[in-house]
Amino acid sequence: MKIPSRIKIGGHSIRVVTCPFVRDGKATVRGLTEYPERRMRLATHYLKPNHRSGRICESEMAVTFMHEIVHHVEDVYGANMSEKQVTRLAEGLLQVFRDNPLNFRAIRRKNMPLTAKGKKVMGAMKKTYGSDEKAKEVFYASANSGKLKGVHGKHKKAKKRR
Ligand SMILES: [Zn+2]
């Protein structure tokens, strides 16, 4: 995965720093969350017992990133979770997000006018499905998943009326 340099959690913009090694006191750790600085650090390498270094694999980097996200979320929203709970939840969330094509972004249908293409596709779908409800369901599912592009405009702000 591509790890961003910033992530928004609560009212904070958290800096994500990737570096070869991350130290917490004397220990070398995979990830570290610093609450007052609203920062998280992720290691790309770890120290082996023979003092050589090894590269942390992609999925371990991803789960560490998720783990630090969970730490910031539980801190900001006061979930008061134990280290074990954070670890388990991060593993679980990573699996669910990786194995499912989910998009949690809010879907806004109101005030989104259809483009000429959108009207044409909607018209064709209404004919195909013989029901407006079914046509709308299929139309918006396709539009929201990105399979159907350029069918509606941007979200419009309501105009002030005097
Ligand atoms: Zn932790």
Ligand 1 mean position, distance from CA 99 (Å): 23
Tell me the mean pLDDT in the region 71-92. Answer: 95
Ligand 1 mean position, distance from CA 81 (Å): 10
Ligand 1 mean position, distance from CA 29 (Å): 10
Ligand 1 mean position, distance from CA 100 (Å): 25
For residues 95 and 109, membership in a common domain is answered with no
Ligand 1 mean position, distance from CA 52 (Å): 24
Q: Within a domain: residue 69? A: yes
Ligand 1 mean position, distance from CA 36 (Å): 16
How sure is the predictor about 2, in pLDDT bands with cuts at 50, 70 and 90?
very high
Give residue 6's pLDDT. 97
pTM, whole model, 2 decimals?
A: 0.68
CA 142 to chain centre: 20
- How far is residue 107's CA from residue 140's CA, in Å, rounded to a whole number? 9
Nearest Cα to 122, choosing from 132, 109, 112?
A: 132
Q: Is the pLDDT of residue 5 over 60?
A: yes
Ligand 1 mean position, distance from CA 145 (Å): 34
Looking up residue 58, the CATH number of its domain turns out to be 3.30.2010
Q: Is the pLDDT of residue 106 over 60?
A: yes
For residues 118 and 144, membership in a common domain is answered with yes
For residues 54 and 78, membership in a common domain is answered with yes
Ligand 1 mean position, distance from CA 84 (Å): 8
Query: What separation in angstroms does the CA of 157 have from each of 7, 117, 129, 160?
Result: 27, 22, 32, 9
Instruction: List the domain range (segments joined by +) for residue 136.
Output: 105-157
